[in-house]
């Protein structure tokens, strides 16, 4: 499901560090060499490179990258080079500090990562920012958003396959009643969405569809401009069909007059080692255009080449 391509024969960590150092030195930066190495190493390999680079040259690899490249290319390389948990912590911090109702990044992180991964994100947040993700979200989000997002990013959900069908039936009924009364921020809705396992929630949403004749998200479109309703729909889509959720984020990022580079970079760097192949298939099915072609049409230069490498395009 990942699009990351790692060579069958990978050079030693020392060789990779040496080549990266050479890419940064001299009259000009060798961006192609940076891409050829970092865009084709998995998380464990990139972690080893960062450690060895700092030990060998007395400088953090990320600092060398920042000193030599800039713009969207720099952001893509930096985010990709970070450990997945540290990357999510950085993304979460950015949106928590500049939080606005239209942001879905915290939902993505909370609902498409496993419980151990989300716990690792919170640990990385502690280490990097010397405070908790929960307190930053609570400090900046307001109203029903705060009530929903704090327990959402604090959750440690059960990850097993077991489903309680009676519970699915009863909680589908609770959700329907609250939605019919437009009590979207009700404690019961928030309790169900922020505590139940993924498999239990999917069973509940399926029961909702069976009982009431349409998907729950259809009932959450009463006001298309309501950002809280949009957040609830995003939570459900992230649990039920993350590939289609991410496809839509990418599609909106590259549609229209301008490109939303931050969203495009975020999805590609966070999913390349996970399920970006499924996202590519969803994009092709929805738009009848390969994602690589769409990205190439909306980006340029080293930034384009970095994204295409992560998408698995052969050089």
Residue 68 assigned to a binding site? yes
> What is the spatial distance between Cα 181 and Cα 255, in angstroms, rounded to a whole number?
36
Residue 267 assigned to a binding site? no
Query: What single DSSP character describes residue 258?
Result: S
Backbone phi, psi, residue 206, to 5°: -65, -40
Residue 301 assigned to a binding site? no
Chain centroid offset of residue 216 CA: 23
Residue 269 assigned to a binding site? no
Backbone phi, psi, residue 40, to 5°: -130, 35
Q: In the numeric block, which tokens belong to residue 205?
A: 């949403």
Residue 254 assigned to a binding site? yes
* Cβ(6)–Cβ(45) below 8 Å: yes
Task: Give the three-state DSSP class for 239.
Answer: helix
Say what the alpha-carbon torsion angle 68, 72, 77, 83 is, to the nearest 10 degrees: 130
Neighbours of 180 (CB within 10 A): 10
Residue 134 assigned to a binding site? no
Residue 28 assigned to a binding site? yes
Neighbouring C-alpha atoms within 13 Å toward the C-beta of 253: 22
Q: Which secondary structure element, helix H or strand E, spans residue 111, and what is its range?
A: helix 105-112
* Cβ(6)–Cβ(41) below 8 Å: yes
Residue 210 assigned to a binding site? no
> What is the spatial distance between Cα 254 and Cα 290, in angstroms, rounded to a whole number?
13
Residue 24 assigned to a binding site? yes
Residue 109 assigned to a binding site? no
> What is the spatial distance between Cα 169 and Cα 152, in angstroms, rounded to a whole number?
22
Q: Which secondary structure element, helix H or strand E, spans residue 208, and what is its range?
A: helix 198-212
Backbone phi, psi, residue 312, to 5°: 90, 10
Pick out the residues of the known binding site for Ca(2+): 24, 26, 28, 68, 254, 258, 296, 298-299, 304
Residue numbers belonging to the annotated binding site:
24, 26, 28, 68, 254, 258, 296, 298-299, 304
């Amino acid at each position: 499901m990942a699009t990351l391509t790692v060579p069958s024969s990978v050079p030693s960590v020392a060789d990779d560090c040496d080549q990266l150092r050479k890419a940064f030195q001299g009259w000009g930066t060798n961006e192609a060499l940076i891409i050829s190495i970092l865009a084709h190493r998995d998380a464990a390999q990139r972690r080893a490179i960062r450690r060895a680079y700092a030990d060998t040259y007395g400088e953090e690899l990320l600092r060398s990258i920042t000193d030599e490249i800039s713009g969207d290319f720099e952001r893509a390389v930096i985010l990709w080079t970070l450990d997945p948990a540290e990357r999510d912590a950085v993304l979460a911090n950015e949106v928590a500090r500049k939080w606005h109702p239209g942001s879905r990044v915290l939902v993505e992180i909370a609902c498409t990562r496993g419980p151990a991964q989300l716990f690792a994100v919170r640990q990385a947040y502690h280490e990097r920012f010397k405070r908790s993700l929960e307190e930053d979200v609570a400090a900046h989000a307001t109203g029903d958003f705060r009530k929903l997002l704090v327990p959402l990013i604090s959750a440690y959900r059960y990850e097993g396959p077991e489903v309680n069908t009676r519970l699915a039936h009863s909680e589908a009924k609770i959700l329907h009643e609250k939605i019919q009364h437009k009590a979207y921020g009700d404690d019961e809705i928030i309790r169900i969405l922020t505590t139940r396992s993924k498999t239990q929630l999917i069973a509940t949403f399926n029961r909702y569809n069976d009982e009431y004749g349409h998907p729950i998200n259809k009932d959450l479109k009463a006001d298309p401009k309501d950002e809280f309703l949009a957040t609830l729909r995003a939570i459900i889509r992230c649990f039920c069909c993350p590939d289609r959720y991410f496809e839509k984020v990418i599609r909106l990022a590259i549609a229209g007059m301008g490109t939303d580079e931050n969203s495009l970079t975020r999805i590609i760097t966070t999913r390349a080692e996970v399920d970006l192949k499924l996202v590519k298939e969803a994009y092709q099915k929805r738009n009848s255009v390969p994602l690589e072609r769409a990205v190439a049409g909306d980006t340029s230069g080293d930034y384009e080449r970095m994204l295409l490498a992560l998408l698995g395009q052969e050089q």
